[in-house]
């Protein structure tokens, strides 16, 4: 099953997402801030990264940028989950290469559907 | 009061007059401190109550949040600059930019930043609203992740003021946060500082400040504090205690009655429009933060803008305090000069009803009890020495008075530490508390005399400079930035 | 020395009344200061101990609560297959004795709210159901009856967060409270919970609606589902409360209520120029083409902040009719900000015509203006 890295500084949300995704059978790895995320991205391969925008050490935009600028990780799908609602930031996230953006509060069902869709697209792309 | 009735008439009169003045002075000062303790307690409680239900995430998610430009000058900070910039880029706030001013560093500060953040020189239309030394170039990142970052590269202006002014010129938001690049700021800094500016019903809030602490013994990783520790070095411990007293007890108290004298240069958020209209920071000033505050106040009163300066009790900034006596002396001498300089420059405001509470309370207080305090104390000591030499001391009374001042200062400082605890617990264990609060007991013996002497040294330097060399010479020898000033308690 | 001192104190005690006044005062203050110091140390120790105990309890109980909520809500098997209202919680964990303690119940509320802030949809609804089924609304309502305003606010916010209706009789008096924070919280609650006329107090509010309070109100208006969004131009025309009007301007822009344009244009005659600037900003965001003529016409007599807003608005409306005007301002104004905003406005048009003008200006204008254009064209600078 797909490996998902969840980057989020709100512990409640971190655990909640882990629970929800694990229930659907995903292999979930957690990171509490940008730095942890970078470390974990170094040491394993992920299919999808779910990231908040504002966190200590490095923000979500840097996570996106780092992934998109690394040829080995370019393929990783990125979903931003954040409470930030101003358009500029959302546009920035997409311009940097985020695949999707969910504004908190999120719907758990919707999150799962979007993850499933992104991963499915990816498999299609890969098999082509 | 006069127990030496057999003295000559003149001596009797003079000493009596002097004693009465000093005694009255002392009593007023002590009463003021008591008043501040009560005011600050009220204000801290109010802040806490508001905090008990506030969800700051609301502003983080709001498109209505006002923009803030974070301005941090850097001079030869090559060693730590990357971490510092990174930490400034992680504020929990939706709308801000980070402007780093490379103030003509002679090391690799600029090169490091350019490399790390993929910067390139841009055709930036820089508008020199406040005159500064020449700006050599403005850099932006080609990586969108760092779109918030602006680097202004300029000629060294020998003053933090000049660099900050360049940052103000390049900034694009209505508020700016003034800090030092080596200060470590809390991620909530912007959301918390913006609040007082957004909830005043009648006044325009022109500046907001928060508590500063000493970073010396804290555990820091990549520019973020991972564990707060009370400072270990002796001198730094004294400073920590002094900061707590000055911010938590002093400024929080003044804030309640809108009489804050100064927002510290280490951390303060300002209304950019007013700052520019007031002329920006003065590079020739030794106390540029307080001097600007005075001019902003002046501008507001002259233009009939009801204004306010606010403080919040939360510690949002940790700064490196000097641990060597030499650096400490330089810092405090500088502050002394700054205070003297600005009191002289703005003397027209003294007891001038046109300037409202600033003219009638803030200015007189700072003149009488900040500027004059070291002088009065110094004269008092000389007087006592004379009395001792002539064998005219009434020892029991002298000792009682000494104990009085000593116990009272301990009480006030301990209350400040308690107020700080009421607001939030920063220390992890009781030893840290004792490490700081024990300084209160010996402050009068070690730390306080130093401060008095260094302040007088500053006044003296300022006085001779004034008569002999007016102008650029003033700045020589004081180019190293001292830690930001907590100022008036 | 010590003996002297103790003798002295003893004497002082005996002869206190005969001592000079200043020594009397000093002695009294010494006593008070020592007392204050001791009390302060005592309080510090007590607070730390209290905090320590509370923290320990919280650290012990919070994971349990989180696990319970995870079990009951997040991982609830019925979620998705059964309508939320019909889902029954497992009664065993909920009837645990610990959930009877008030402080535990408060933590449950806080944790539930944390989750609600992160989840809406069915999970959000189920969190609400758990709050109700555990009888927690009563705790919140009880808090509302205390005299402490901050507790009242917390209660109001809890109920609002959980979408629990509060009767008008309870909430309406609070919307006029003397305490600005309580007032703001009550108004927000009213907007979210009142089903018939959520914006009622816009008509009657006389106190300013502070920018800080607008944040939460804006969030609630724009995120509450099934809220009836009115035409905000009503208050723009009739309210005498400036802050309400300026808040309505932001809402008009957010909901792109083009029908409000005439009402907003009426504000252009207002004497307060900050207010006028807000109105112009709003017209720009609405791309109010019909306002363009008027904006350009009044331009010359406006203070700087309004002029800048007009330039921005013309750039957003971008009808192309006033490119010459923008070009003129860019070429001849002595003010840097005006030139900058004029340049931006021209570039914002993003049409063939505007690109021709930009090129032409690049070739003809002087150095500083060229940098301004380059600045505005540079994608790295925003």
Interchain proximity C111–A19, CB inside 8 Å? no
State whether residue A20 sits within 8 Å of chain C by CB.
yes
pLDDT given for residue A84 in this prediction = 81
Of B224, B241, B225, residue with least CA distance to B233? B241
pLDDT band at A100; cut points 50, 70, 90: very high
Average pLDDT, chain B: 90
Nearest neighbour of C51 by CB, restricted to B140, B415, B425: B425
pLDDT given for residue C1 in this prediction = 66
Note down the domain range covering A52.
3-127
Q: What is the pTM of this model?
A: 0.91
Q: Can you tell me the mean pLDDT for B228-236?
A: 93
CB of B399 closer than 8 Å to CB of B392? no
Considering only alpha carbons, which residue of chain C is nearest residue B427?
C48
pLDDT tens digits, one per residue of C187-238: 999 998 887 788 888 888 888 899 999 999 999 998 887 788 899 999 999 9
Number of domains composing chain A:
1
Q: Can you tell me the mean pLDDT for B268-290?
A: 95
Average pLDDT, chain A: 88
A60-68 vs A34-43: helix crossing angle, rounded to 10: 20
* Chain B residues closer than 8 Å to C149 by CB: 49
Whether A125 has a pLDDT exceeding 70, the answer reads no
Interchain proximity C119–A12, CB inside 8 Å? no
Report the alpha-carbon angle C266-C271-C276, nearest 5.
55
Interchain proximity B404–C29, CB inside 8 Å? yes
CB of B268 closer than 8 Å to CB of B248? no
ipTM of the complex: 0.90
Both ends of chain C: CA-CA distance in Å?
73
pLDDT given for residue A126 in this prediction = 58
SS3 B108: coil
Whether B16 has a pLDDT exceeding 80, the answer reads no
Interchain proximity B57–C212, CB inside 8 Å? no
What are the distances in angstroms from CA B348 to CA A35, B293, B351, B367? 54, 15, 8, 12
CB of B186 closer than 8 Å to CB of B180? no
Of C51, B273, C106, C66, residue with least CA distance to A14? C66
| Neighbour order of strands in the sheet with A3-7 | A27-31, A3-7, A48-51, A77-82, A100-103
pLDDT given for residue B195 in this prediction = 97
pLDDT given for residue B472 in this prediction = 36
Hey, how many other C-beta atoms are within 10 angstroms of the C-beta on C222?
15
Q: Which CATH number do you get for residue A122? A: 3.40.50.2300
Of B208, B289, B296, residue with least CA distance to B487? B289
Burial of B278 per CB tally in 10 Å (0-12, 13-18, 19+): buried
A127 Cβ contact partners less than 8 Å away, ≥ 6 residues apart: none
CB of C314 closer than 8 Å to CB of C322? yes
* Chain C residues closer than 8 Å to B30 by CB: 29
Interchain proximity B63–A86, CB inside 8 Å? yes
Considering only alpha carbons, which residue of chain A is nearest residue B84?
A57
Q: Which is it for strands B267-271 and B175-179: parallel, antiparallel or unpaired?
A: antiparallel
* Chain B residues closer than 8 Å to C372 by CB: 125
pLDDT given for residue C12 in this prediction = 62
CA pair distance B193, B91, nearest whole angstrom: 12
Alpha carbons within 13 A on the beta-carbon side of C232: 20
Q: Can you tell me the mean pLDDT for B380-398?
A: 87
Whether B468 has a pLDDT exceeding 50, the answer reads no
Considering only alpha carbons, which residue of chain B is nearest residue A59?
B90
CA-CA-CA-CA torsion sign (C43, C48, C54, C57): negative
Interchain proximity A16–C74, CB inside 8 Å? yes
pLDDT tens digits, one per residue of B54-76: 999 899 889 999 999 999 999 99
CA-CA-CA-CA torsion sign (B110, B116, B117, B122): positive
pLDDT given for residue B12 in this prediction = 72
CB of C199 closer than 8 Å to CB of C205? no
CA-CA-CA-CA torsion sign (B347, B350, B354, B359): positive
pLDDT tens digits, one per residue of A28-77: 999 998 889 999 998 889 999 999 988 877 788 889 998 998 888 888 99
pLDDT given for residue B483 in this prediction = 45
CB of C315 closer than 8 Å to CB of C308? no
Q: Can you tell me the mean pLDDT for B65-94?
A: 93
B362 Cβ contact partners less than 8 Å away, ≥ 6 residues apart: B254, B259, B260, B261, B297
CA pair distance A27, A48, nearest whole angstrom: 10
A86: left (phi over 0), alpha (psi -120 to 50) or beta: beta
State whether residue A93 sits within 8 Å of chain B by CB.
no
Nearest neighbour of B403 by CB, restricted to C22, C30, C215: C30
Question: Dmax of chain C from CA atoms?
Answer: 100
Residue C270, token pair as written in the block: 């207002």
Q: Which H/E stretch holds residue B126?
A: none
Look-up of token digits 């050490």: A57
Question: Dmax of chain B from CA atoms?
Answer: 85
pLDDT tens digits, one per residue of B102-114: 999 999 999 999 9
Of A103, A98, A93, residue with least CA distance to A76? A98
Hey, how many other C-beta atoms are within 10 angstroms of the C-beta on B384?
14
State whether residue A40 sits within 8 Å of chain B by CB.
no
CB of C30 closer than 8 Å to CB of B407? yes
Mutate to test the interface with C, among B418, B423, B444 (most CBs of C within 10 A): B418
* Chain B residues closer than 8 Å to C48 by CB: 421, 425, 430, 433
Q: Which H/E stretch holds residue C68?
A: helix C21-69
pLDDT given for residue C349 in this prediction = 94
B6: left (phi over 0), alpha (psi -120 to 50) or beta: alpha
What's phi and psi for C326, nearest 5 deg?
-65, -40
pLDDT band at B338; cut points 50, 70, 90: very high
pLDDT given for residue B384 in this prediction = 86
SS3 B149: strand
SS3 A100: strand
Nearest neighbour of C114 by CB, restricted to A12, A88, A106: A12
Q: Which is it for strands A27-31 and A3-7: parallel, antiparallel or unpaired?
A: parallel
DSSP states of B254-307: HHHTT------TTEEEEEHHHHHHHT---TT-SSHHHHHHHHHHHHHHHTT--E
CB of C88 closer than 8 Å to CB of A75? no
pLDDT given for residue A127 in this prediction = 54
Both ends of chain A: CA-CA distance in Å?
20
CA pair distance B350, B367, nearest whole angstrom: 8
Residue B59, token pair as written in the block: 């502003």
DSSP states of C208-270: ---HHHHHHHHHHHHH-TT-----THHHHHH---HHHHHHHHHHHHHHT-GGGHHHHHHGGG-
CA-CA-CA-CA torsion sign (C219, C225, C227, C231): positive
CA pair distance A92, B147, nearest whole angstrom: 9
CB of B286 closer than 8 Å to CB of B478? yes
* Chain C residues closer than 8 Å to B61 by CB: 219
Give the pLDDT of chain C (382 residues) as one tens digit per residue.
677 878 877 776 777 778 888 888 888 989 999 999 999 999 999 999 999 999 999 999 999 999 999 989 988 888 888 898 888 898 888 888 899 999 999 999 999 999 999 998 899 999 999 999 999 999 999 999 999 999 999 999 999 999 999 998 888 889 888 899 999 999 999 998 887 788 888 888 888 899 999 999 999 998 887 788 899 999 999 998 999 999 999 999 999 999 999 999 999 999 999 899 999 999 999 999 999 999 999 999 999 999 999 999 999 999 999 999 999 999 999 999 999 999 999 999 999 999 999 999 999 989 999 999 999 999 888 7
Q: What is the DSSP letter of A57?
A: S
CB of B480 closer than 8 Å to CB of B330? yes
CA-CA-CA-CA torsion sign (B43, B44, B45, B50): positive
Mutate to test the interface with A, among C62, C63, C73, C74 (most CBs of A within 10 A): C74
CB of A31 closer than 8 Å to CB of A41? no
pLDDT given for residue C2 in this prediction = 75
Of B396, B383, B294, residue with least CA distance to B339? B294
pLDDT tens digits, one per residue of B408-459: 999 999 999 999 999 998 998 899 999 999 999 999 989 999 999 999 999 9
Interchain proximity A20–C117, CB inside 8 Å? no
What's phi and psi for C258, nearest 5 deg?
-65, -25
pLDDT band at B3; cut points 50, 70, 90: low
Of C322, C331, C259, C330, residue with least CA distance to C288? C259
b/e sequence A4-40, b meaning 16+ C-beta within 10 Å: bbbbbbbebbbbbbbbbbeeeebebbbbbbbbbbbeb
DSSP states of B185-219: E-TTHHHHHHHHHH--SSSEEEEEEEEEEE-TTSE
pLDDT tens digits, one per residue of B294-308: 999 999 999 999 999
State whether residue B60 sits within 8 Å of chain A by CB.
yes
Interface of A with C in 25-64 (CB under 8 A): none
């Amino acid at each position: 099953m797909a490996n998902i890295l969840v980057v989020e500084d709100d512990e409640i949300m971190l655990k909640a997402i882990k629970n929800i995704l694990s229930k659907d059978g995903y292999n979930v790895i957690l990171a509490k801030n940008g730095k942890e995320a970078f470390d974990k991205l170094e040491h394993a391969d992920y299919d999808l990264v779910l990231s908040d925008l504002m966190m200590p050490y490095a923000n979500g935009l840097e996570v996106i940028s780092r992934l998109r600028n690394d040829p080995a990780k370019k393929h990783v799908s990125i979903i931003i989950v954040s409470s930030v609602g101003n358009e500029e930031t959302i546009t920035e996230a997409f311009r940097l290469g985020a695949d999707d953006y969910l504004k908190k509060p999120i719907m758990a069902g919707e999150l799962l559907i979007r993850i499933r869709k992104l991963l499915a697209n990816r498999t299609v792309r890969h098999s082509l | 009061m006069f127990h030496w009735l057999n003295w000559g008439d003149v001596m009797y009169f003079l000493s009596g007059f002097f004693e009465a003045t000093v005694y009255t002075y002392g009593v007023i000062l002590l009463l003021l401190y008591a008043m501040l303790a009560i005011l600050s307690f009220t204000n801290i409680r109010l802040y806490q109550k508001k905090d008990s239900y506030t969800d700051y995430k609301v502003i983080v998610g709001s498109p209505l949040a006002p923009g803030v430009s974070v301005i941090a000058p850097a001079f030869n900070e090559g060693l730590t600059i990357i971490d510092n910039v990174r930490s400034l880029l992680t504020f929990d706030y939706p709308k801000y930019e980070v402007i780093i001013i490379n103030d003509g560093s002679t090391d690799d500060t600029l090169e490091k930043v350019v490399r790390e953040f993929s910067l390139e020189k841009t055709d930036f239309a820089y508008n020199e609203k406040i005159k500064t030394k020449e700006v050599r170039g403005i850099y932006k990142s080609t990586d969108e992740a760092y779109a918030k970052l602006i680097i202004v590269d300029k000629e060294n202006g020998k003053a933090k003021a000049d660099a900050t002014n360049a940052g103000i010129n390049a900034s694009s938001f209505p508020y700016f946060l003034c800090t030092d690049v080596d200060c470590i700021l809390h991620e909530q800094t912007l959301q918390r500082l913006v609040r007082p500016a957004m909830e005043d019903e009648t006044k325009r809030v022109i500046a907001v400040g928060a508590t500063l602490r000493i970073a010396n013994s804290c555990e820091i990783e990549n520019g973020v504090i991972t564990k707060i520790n009370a400072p270990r070095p002796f001198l730094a411990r004294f400073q920590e205690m002094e900061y707590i007293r000055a911010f938590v007890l002093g400024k929080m108290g003044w804030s309640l009655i809108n009489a804050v004298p100064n927002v510290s240069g280490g951390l303060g958020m300002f209304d950019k429009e007013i700052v520019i209209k007031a002329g920006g920071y003065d590079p020739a000033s030794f106390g540029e933060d307080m001097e600007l505050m005075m001019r902003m106040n002046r501008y507001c009163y002259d233009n009939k803008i009801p204004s306010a300066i606010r403080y919040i009790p939360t510690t949002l900034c940790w700064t490196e305090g000097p641990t060597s006596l030499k650096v400490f002396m330089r810092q405090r001498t500088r502050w002394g000069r700054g205070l003297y300089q600005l009191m002289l420059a703005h003397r027209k405001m003294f007891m001038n009803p046109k300037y409202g509470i600033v003219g009638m309370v803030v200015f007189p207080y700072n003149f009488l009890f900040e500027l004059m305090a070291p002088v009065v104390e110094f004269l008092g000591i000389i007087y006592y020495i004379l009395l001792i030499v002539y064998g005219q001391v009434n020892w029991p009374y002298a000792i009682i008075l000494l104990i009085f001042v000593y116990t009272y200062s301990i009480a006030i400082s301990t209350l400040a530490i308690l107020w700080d605890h009421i607001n939030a617990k920063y220390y992890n264990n009781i030893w840290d508390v004792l490490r700081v609060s024990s300084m209160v007991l010996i402050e009068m013996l070690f730390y306080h005399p130093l401060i008095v002497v260094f302040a007088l040294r500053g006044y003296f330097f300022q006085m001779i400079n004034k008569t002999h060399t007016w102008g650029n010479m003033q700045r020589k020898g004081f180019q190293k930035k001292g830690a930001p000033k907590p100022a008036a308690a | 020395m010590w003996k002297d001192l103790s003798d002295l104190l003893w004497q002082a005690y005996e002869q206190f009344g005969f001592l000079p006044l200043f020594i009397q005062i000093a002695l009294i203050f010494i006593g008070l200061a020592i007392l204050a110091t001791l009390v302060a140390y005592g309080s510090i120790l007590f607070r730390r101990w209290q905090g320590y105990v509370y923290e320990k309890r919280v650290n012990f109980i919070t994971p349990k609560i989180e696990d319970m909520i995870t079990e009951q809500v997040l991982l609830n098997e019925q979620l998705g297959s059964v309508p939320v209202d019909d889902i029954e919680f497992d009664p065993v964990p909920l009837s645990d004795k610990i959930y009877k303690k008030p402080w535990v119940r408060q933590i449950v509320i806080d944790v539930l709210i944390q989750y609600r802030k992160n989840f809406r949809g069915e999970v959000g609804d189920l969190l609400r159901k758990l709050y109700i089924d555990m009888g927690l609304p009563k705790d919140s309502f009880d808090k509302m009856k205390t005299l402490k305003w901050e507790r009242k606010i917390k209660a109001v916010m809890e109920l609002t967060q959980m979408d629990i209706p509060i009767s008008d009789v309870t909430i309406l008096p609070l919307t006029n409270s003397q305490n600005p924070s309580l007032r703001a919280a009550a108004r927000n609650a009213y907007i979210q919970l009142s089903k018939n006329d959520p914006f009622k107090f816009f008509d009657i509010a006389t106190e300013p609606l502070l920018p800080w309070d607008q944040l939460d109100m804006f969030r609630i208006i724009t995120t509450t589902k099934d809220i009836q969004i009115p035409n905000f131009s009503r208050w723009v025309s009739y309210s005498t409360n400036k802050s309400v009007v300026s808040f309505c301007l932001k809402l008009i822009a957010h909901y792109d209520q083009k029908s409000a344009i005439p009402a907003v244009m009426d504000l252009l005659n207002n004497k307060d120029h900050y207010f006028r600037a807000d109105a112009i900003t709003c017209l720009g965001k609405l791309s109010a083409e019909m306002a363009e003529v008027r904006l350009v016409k009044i331009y010359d007599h406006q203070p700087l902040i309004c002029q800048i807003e007009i330039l921005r608005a013309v750039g957003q409306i971008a009808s192309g009719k006033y490119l010459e005007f923008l070009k003129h301002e860019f070429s001849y104004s002595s003010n840097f900000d005006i030139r900058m905003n004029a340049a931006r406005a021209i570039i914002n048009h993003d049409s063939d015509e505007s690109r021709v003008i930009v090129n032409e200006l690049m070739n003809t204008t002087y150095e500083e203006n060229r940098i301004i254009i380059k600045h505005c064209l540079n994608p790295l600078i925003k």
